[in-house]
Amino acid sequence: MTSPLDGLVAEHAEIEGQLADPAVHNDPAKARALSRRYAQLAPVVDLARELERVEGDLATARELAAEDTSFRGEVNDLDAELVGLNERLRAYLVPVDPDDARDAILEVKAGAGGEESALFAGDLLRMYLRYAERRGWKTEILDANPSDLGGYRDVSVAVKARGSAPGDGVYGRLRFEGGVHRVQRVPVTESAGRIHTSAAGVLVLPEAEEVDVEIDANDLRIDVFRSSGPGGQSVNTTDSAVRITHVPTGLVVSCQNEKSQLQNKESALRILRARLLGVAREKAESEASMARASQVRTVDRSERVRTYNFAENRISDHRVGYKAHNLDQVLDGELDEVLDALAAADLEARLAAQAS
């Protein structure tokens, strides 16, 4: 009987053969999808080879130990190594979100707290840009609505992997960031030195390819208008901003970041495709719907996934009880520790669901 691991290894080999066929690359979207899945399966293949090696070494060590007791220590070591590899195997055999290997579109929106919330939204944006830089990812601001003091009322950024591994787990890594983030600090607008609480919302979506979401041009209402923003910007002098309304769903996307109307339209369509893919995921999968509901519903101070306390230099993630006193480092892009904690909790939940 073929084991689940054997099936994944066979799938990896099949995809490898498909990617070696030049005809596949005539369809860029299909080639990207295959490459994403191939990259997802690569660690599974490495684990399968390691298991095969350890099992072979263990069988040999047991034979030798039957004749010479000095080999019993090696048997024990290999037994322990095999247990660890099988634990890792459990994680690989849990079904994963097929979109985890995609690139992502991340949106940050100021909420309760006025200008201070906009400044905090700017801090979150810089945190994600620094984290992407540390990971070697490429970022592109698709649209930004800056506030008067240098923050953002809302901003959308595309986060893409570099190199030969499409997606590189960008969405899979960042999807835990979705939700309401709360900050506790003395705002720059506060003269009395009192600590205020404000919030910003983060939404993370897998970036959709054109072939993933079919958009009928007849379903779109496209309006152009003059960009707004800090005075003196050249974008304010022409009708370059674009607002796209997807009539069937009522989704509205506006972009004014670029000087070109065409560039703003393309950016708006990228965001719209990602949002429509999110809607399709909700309809197709109840789990995706639950995950989406756990992200931003209303950007309210009380509805938070994480708190950033400046006075104590503390970050707290309320979903997994994570706390650390390195807020300054986290805001500088050192997010791996908290994201690792969230990923581990997510894996445990999926393992428990699989066992029940």
Residue ranges, comma separated, of all CATH 3.30.70.1660 domains in the chain are: 99-350
- Bigger pLDDT: 130 vs 95: 130
For residue 234, the model assigns a pLDDT of 46
- At 51, is the secondary structure helix, strand, or coil? helix
Report the Cα 199 to chain-centroid distance in Å: 20
For residue 352, the model assigns a pLDDT of 79
For residue 34, the model assigns a pLDDT of 86
Closest CA to 150 of 180, 130, 112, 120: 120
Confidence band of 231 (pLDDT split at 50, 70, 90) = very low
Q: Which CATH architecture has domain 4-93?
A: Up-down Bundle (1.20)
CATH number of 99-350: 3.30.70.1660
Task: Report the 3 state secondary structure along 37-71.
Answer: HHHHHHHHHHHHHHHHHHHHHHHHHHHHHHHCHHH
Confidence band of 307 (pLDDT split at 50, 70, 90) = very high
Per-residue pLDDT at 117 exceeds 90: yes
8-state DSSP, 96: -
Tokens in use for 274? 């990602």
Tokens in use for 125? 């944006």
Section 123-134 average pLDDT = 96
pTM listed for this prediction: 0.73
- At 108, is the secondary structure helix, strand, or coil? strand
Per-residue pLDDT at 283 exceeds 80: no
Q: Is residue 95 within 8 Å of 197, Cβ to Cβ?
A: no
Give me the amino acid identity at 277: L
| Dist. CA 198–CA 4, nearest whole Å | 48
- At 299, is the secondary structure helix, strand, or coil? coil
Q: What is the pLDDT of residues 15-45, one digit of tens each?
A: 989 999 989 889 887 888 888 788 878 888 8
Task: Kindly report the backbone phi and psi dihedral angles of residue 44, in degrees, each rounded to the nearest multiple of 5, phi listed first.
Answer: -65, -45
The strands making up 251-255's β-sheet, listed across from edge to edge, are: 220-225, 241-246, 251-255
Closest CA to 271 of 254, 289, 284: 254
Residue ranges, comma separated, of all CATH 1.20.58 domains in the chain are: 4-93
Section 343-349 average pLDDT = 87
Q: What is the pLDDT of residues 51-64, one digit of tens each?
A: 999 999 999 999 99
| Dist. CA 105–CA 205, nearest whole Å | 5
For residue 179, the model assigns a pLDDT of 92
